[in-house]
Amino acid sequence: MTASPLIQSKIIELCEALVADGEVKSARIQAEAFLADESAMALYREMATLGRSLHQKQHQDEEPTADEISRFNALQDRCEGNEIIAGFLGAQNVLSGVAEAVNTFVGKSLESGRVPSPEEMVKKGGCGEGCGCHH
């Protein structure tokens, strides 16, 4: 099913507001800078790949070696010290936060059949019930 013309026009308005927003623009610029920097991408990819490998080992009840842990920590330190990567990670947080806010607001509207109040939109309980984080 496609959205009605009214909903489509409001979606376009929302998208126009998103691309005009200064924080979103800045985040996109930072993300694009990262994607244009092959060395930063390679460093980040290496750290992420090793991190996934170590995580997989732990789930298989294998202990990562001291060398693997040391190598991962060194890669992580290099990534944290890289301005392009730090900017990219900040940009990811901004963009995913905006997307989450839009999805949550729309989802609550569809569930309840009304526009949620600002109080309803404030996260309660961290990442959800039963997660154990008790935020």
pLDDT of res. 26: 97
Residue type, 131: C
pLDDT of res. 120: 84
Where residue 123 falls among pLDDT bands split at 50, 70, 90? Answer: low
- On average, the pLDDT of the chain sits at 90
Percent of the chain with pLDDT over 90: 84
pLDDT of res. 119: 85
What confidence tens digit (pLDDT) does each residue in 60-73 have?
999 999 999 999 99
Where residue 1 falls among pLDDT bands split at 50, 70, 90? Answer: low
Answer whether 55's CB lies under 8 Å from 76's CB.
no
The Cα 135–Cα 85 span in angstroms is 28
For residue 20, give both structure tokens: 């005009």
